[in-house]
Chains A and B, each alone.
Chain A
Amino acid sequence: MTKKIKLSELGSLFGDLDVKALEGVKIEGDVELDLGQVGLNPQMAYALGHETTQIALHLMNISRILGYPVDRMPGSSTTATAPKRLSRLIDSKFSVGRIEEWKNPIQEVVLGATSSDGGTRKSTITLGGENALPYYFDSPMPHRNHITMDVFDMPISMAKAVKSNYEDVMESPAEWAKKVVRDFGADMVTIHLISTDPNIKDTSPAEAAKTVEEVLQAVDVPIVIGGSGNPEKDPEVLEKAAEVAEGERCLLASASLNLDYARIAEAAKKYNHVVLSWTQLEINAQKELNRKLMKQCGVARENIVMDPTTAALGYGLDYAYTNMERIRLAGLSGDQELNFPMSSGTTNAWGARESWMVSSPLKEDSDWGPREYRGPIWEIVTGLTLSLAGNDLFMMMHPTAVQVLKEITRTLYGSKENEHVDISNWVSAVV
């Protein structure tokens, strides 16, 4: 007698026999059992029915014959079997599904405007549009990552490895902006108006706006306009800057909960710019601010980018990474208050002492080696980690870091062809 039954039906088969003990036996999947072949007939099953462990054992033997992994089933430790020798590979096919929950695409946001759209930029940049986690096979990313490089409106103190690249342009934001686009391949430029801080130079908004105009004339890529971070001063500074940059679709950095975000939102609406919605490592605060920008201030969805805050490698990157990953997953799974493109202040990597200190302050540490190489890779790894969490736009400083991050993100994005490399003999390679 040959009768095919499914393992999932075994329970009901034995059910008649009142085999309470089956509760512990669990075999998953619809494995087809050919009872005739293994010789398990109803009488035998009946006999087994009295003996809990026996049933478990037999079920395991059956599954072992079927090549089913049995080590995790109860009782297996009691049955040591002699290893089998096989002469042929068992054929098996790999397949895996897509993630069904990812139904809600990330909002597309365009930065910059060309003459046909009322601006003066030569090209624009589109962020967002993703339908999956970055670089996942489920759905290709529609737009690659972009990098905007930092320019300051006054000379500032910075790590030595960074500074050496900018000493010649530090006095002129326009020249600085040209340099990052021409020599370092920046997709965008961020002009930080830090001198407007009352505790620094207290530059007037009108004066700061002139710097913005200079930068817009110096380069034809889209730009980010950043304040000083002073919550009292920033709204009026950004307002004035937005006005002189009317129609250019700049990214205004930033609206946050601790300043008059409504004023910044208003300026963006009036002069056609995009708002950067900045919160500090807290998903609920991010939701709240985005909601306020949309509902209370009437900012259109296509005019919002988020900055959920970047902490450096070794200085809180774990918080920043998980915060971004959670935000992106929530957005993809349907949260309409979180499905916006993200921006990272990757330059924060230079705040970690490992990136800039000459050597470890600790005598017990192994040698830290030359900081010229340590700094850029600190910025790269910080940015790269966040790119995997879903970050779209990177604010960066070191040219080498920019170059490497560009290369790896484009590789994972899928636009880097390469000559075929044979790795089959890597073990014996001479390195």
Chain B
Amino acid sequence: MKVNSPLQVYKYLPQTNCGECGETTCMAFASRLIDRSMKLEDCPPLLTDEFKEKYMELESLLAPEIREVIIGTGEHAKAIGGDDVLYRHQLTFFNPTKFAYDVGDTMPEAELVERVNKIQNFRKFYVGNFLNLDMVAVRCVSGDASKFAVAVKKVSETTELPLILCSFDPAVLKAGLEAVKDKNPLIYAATGDNWGDVAELALEYKVPVVLFSPDLDKLRSLAVTFIEMGIKDLVLDPGTYPQGNQLKGTFDRFIQIRRAGIKEGQKEIAFPLMAVPMNTYLVYDEPVTASYWETVLASVFTVRYGDIMILHSLEPYALLPEVHIRDTIYTDPRTPVKVEPGVFEVGAPAKDSPVIVTTNFALTYYTVESDLSSNKIDCYIAAVDTDGIGVEAAVAGGQLTAARIKETFDKAGFDFAEKTSHGALILPGLSARLQGDVEDVTGLKVLIGPPDSGRIPGWMEKSWPPKAK
């Protein structure tokens, strides 16, 4: 964005401090715009005719350096790009990298449907949410436009995930577009050879389009030309080479393009970047090796500026690290991830149900909570206010203490004598050293659970209910 202080933004706001946005002052709202935690649309007065001009000026001042491009429609649409910084600690990165997995138009129908279902059904629980995959890339392997159209149609009937239509043949792309006219797919790709026809398609169907060229002069020429023709929803693929010096060249290009866009404000090249890690399959025959290297490339370009990727392997050992490295890079470093402290019920706890103590660090809490609920263990969980710090660090740092544990139950009005028949609580294995203190302060029986909450079910078979006092 072109502004960096709330004061610069404040000038354009109504300055009435009416509070409709939920902030008490316009200045406060201005800082929320700067850190991108609120949008212009959250200030109703600004949307009136009176402020139309200011609104439009602000909109342009606040627009992210890297253009945001939308793929798909409605609630299934996915945004890519939209970043303002080169390093996540300078603000945060926006719009996590979108992972598209490929299907080929030569696949037998049943196989194709099965693969699409695998893509859309994948999920991995993490910090209160499921990590998912985002898109399906349909590749024209057959070279046959009508075959391609059939495959595209089948995929779109099977899933609501946004699509990428892949072919260098404009006639093939057109057939595909006809099959999913209103779904705003991303088309791949315009090159130095086919750009004129592909541009026509982008204009006619009003869809975002990928420009492909490992030669950056050519890539920039394509972008400038498309912009000139009024096509703004562009994605750049500077070519992902699978190994050696060619791969190093790819790495260089990602850094160069993003630096040009963000640091130097070169609008002509400030678009989302696409990586194609599945190109490892061009050089490695052995599937585990190809998959491993694909994940390695996906990780490199998740860290360094890839906004959207086309991948192949659906092996869990590829998907799990991929979704996690993306979460790592795109988690907002400004906000500690914590949950409200308190005592919560899992399932329908009865008097003989266990009482579990943990911290209010979101990663810890949700991990423990889901381990318990997924295994159908009825119980109480006490999320102790550790300022959002996990078990081990909170014991080391003094936020998980006997006093705070007692306070959590007291504040919640949780009376062990009334709610339980056993008068016991379970501490995390990694906080074993608090056992004596907690016994002294609460007067309860204190059990030490396993180090990892995933092991609670097994542990309970042996150690629950507690032996009578």
Contact = CB atoms under 8 A, between A and B. Distances in A.
Q: Do A and B truly interact?
A: yes
Contact of B251 (A85, A93, A135): A135
Interface stretch (A207-215, A247-255, A293-301, A322-330): A322-330
Interface in B303-337: 303-304, 312, 315-321, 324-325, 327-329, 331, 333
B89 A423 contact: no
Interface stretch (A32-40, A110-118, A186-194, A353-361): A353-361
Interface string A397-431: 00000001000100110101111110101111111
A218 to B, nearest CB: 31
B299 interface: yes
Contacts of A419: 244
Contacts of A404: 292-293, 296
A322 B371 CA distance: 29
Contacts of B340: none
Nearest to B191: A424
A72 interface: yes
B460 interface: no
A67 B224 contact: yes
B260 A96 contact: yes
A233 B304 CA distance: 42
A62 to B, nearest CB: 14
Contacts of B266: 96
Interface stretch (B39-47, B55-63, B174-182, B406-414): B55-63
B243 A416 contact: yes
A366 B245 contact: no
Given A81-B230, A431-B312, A384 B320 contact: no
A426 B324 contact: no
Dominant SS among interface residues on chain B: helix
Q: Which of B102, B246, B317, B371 has the most CB of A within 10 A?
A: B317
A91 interface: yes
Interface in A297-345: 313-318, 321-322, 325-326, 329
Nearest to A66: B228
Nearest to A77: B56
Nearest to A426: B279
Given A69-B232, A84-B228, A354-B320, A423 B239 contact: yes
A221 B135 CA distance: 48
A365 interface: yes
A353 B451 CA distance: 11
Interface in B52-103: 53, 56-57, 59-60, 63, 87-89, 102
B243 to A, nearest CB: 5
Interface string A367-386: 11110011001101100110
Contacts of A26: 2, 60
A375 B363 CA distance: 20
Q: Would you call the interface of chain A mostly helix, strand, loop, or mixed?
A: loop
A427 B89 contact: no
B217 A94 contact: yes
A353 B328 contact: no
B28 to A, nearest CB: 24
B126 A314 contact: yes
B41 to A, nearest CB: 14
B329 A427 contact: no
A3 interface: no
Given A99-B263, A421-B283, A430-B106, 14 more contacts: A26-B2, A86-B199, A94-B257, A322-B88, A325-B88, A365-B124, A366-B316, A368-B316, A373-B317, A404-B293, A412-B248, A416-B248, A429-B282, A431-B281
14 contacts: A84-B229, A84-B230, A90-B221, A92-B220, A135-B251, A318-B327, A374-B316, A381-B321, A388-B304, A404-B292, A411-B247, A412-B247, A420-B246, A431-B312
**5 smallest beta-carbon distances between A and B, as pairs:** A418-B244, A369-B316, A361-B454, A94-B216, A373-B317
Interface of B: 2, 53, 56-57, 59-60, 63, 87-89, 102, 104, 106, 121-126, 130, 139-141, 143, 166-168, 188, 192, 195-196, 199-200, 203, 214, 216-217, 219-225, 227-232, 239-248, 251-252, 255-257, 259-260, 263-269, 276, 278-279, 281-283, 288, 292-293, 295-296, 299-300, 303-304, 312, 315-321, 324-325, 327-329, 331, 333, 363, 370-371, 374-375, 390, 452-454, 457
